[in-house]
Amino acid sequence: MALLLRTLARQGTCLSRPQFGVFYRHAVPMGTTVKEEMNKFSAKNNKLNRPMSPHITIYQWSVPMMMSITHRGTGVGLSGGISAFALLALVLPGNYPYYLDLIHSLSIGPALLGLAKFGIAFPLSYHTLNGIRHLFWDSGKGFALPVVYRSGYVVIALSILTSIAALAYM
């Protein structure tokens, strides 16, 4: 066994020798830096009068585009909110009923309280329903453009309705 290991180790060191060129034939030469490569790319594009990458202002906004941005934003907001709540629950003194009584003592009006509840319920329902929409896309269904728009409008409508229903229930 030791002889086999020594043999394999020797063969491994031999791979760097020129006679074993088949093993590193496709290696990229390391003669240039990233900055040099970027400069060559920019010079080539300038010589060919190619435009720079398009900016977001040239695109015509669409429902799927806005829904994609909103889905990412609600995901970041929800994970950040849950993380902040969990961190505060760990480090703040007192317990949950203490802080619930503190919020009740602020005498926040029903309109502001309803708005705060909607601000929690809408991102949660939107992200959940749009996630279900993405699961259908993952199965290969719903990629036709009319179906994309229709399912988007359904997600928006159901998100608003479930948020209002949650407000009525809370």
* pLDDT for res 109: 86
Alpha-carbon distance of 59 to 52, in angstroms, equals 15
Top pLDDT among 14 and 1 is at 1
pLDDT band at 12 (very low <50, low <70, confident <90, very high): very low
Contact (CB, 8 A) for 131 and 74:
no
Find the mean pLDDT for residues 140-147: 92
Contact (CB, 8 A) for 142 and 133:
yes
Q: Which residues contact 19 (CB under 8 A, 6 or more apart)?
A: none
* pLDDT for res 73: 96
Q: Which residues contact 113 (CB under 8 A, 6 or more apart)?
A: none
* pLDDT for res 77: 96
Contact (CB, 8 A) for 122 and 160:
yes
pLDDT band at 14 (very low <50, low <70, confident <90, very high): very low
Give the residue among 85, 87, 156, 91 at the shortest CA–CA distance from 125. 156
Top pLDDT among 18 and 105 is at 105
Give the residue among 71, 63, 88, 83 at the shortest CA–CA distance from 123. 71
* pLDDT for res 141: 92
Question: What does residue 14 show for φ and ψ, rounded to 5 degrees?
Answer: -75, -15
What are the DSSP calls for 87-152, one per residue? HHHHHSSS-HHHHHHHHHHTT--HHHHHHHHHHHHHHHHHHHHHHHHHHHHHTT---SHHHHHHHH
Look at residue 1 and tell me whether its pLDDT is greater than 80.
no
Give the residue among 157, 120, 121, 150 at the shortest CA–CA distance from 136. 150
* pLDDT for res 37: 86
pLDDT in tens, 36-89: 888 888 898 889 888 777 776 777 889 999 999 999 999 999 999 999 999 998
Top pLDDT among 35 and 158 is at 158
**Residue 49, Ramachandran bin (φ over 0: left; ψ between -120 and 50: alpha; else beta):** left
pLDDT in tens, 90-139: 999 988 889 889 888 988 888 898 999 999 999 999 999 999 999 999 99
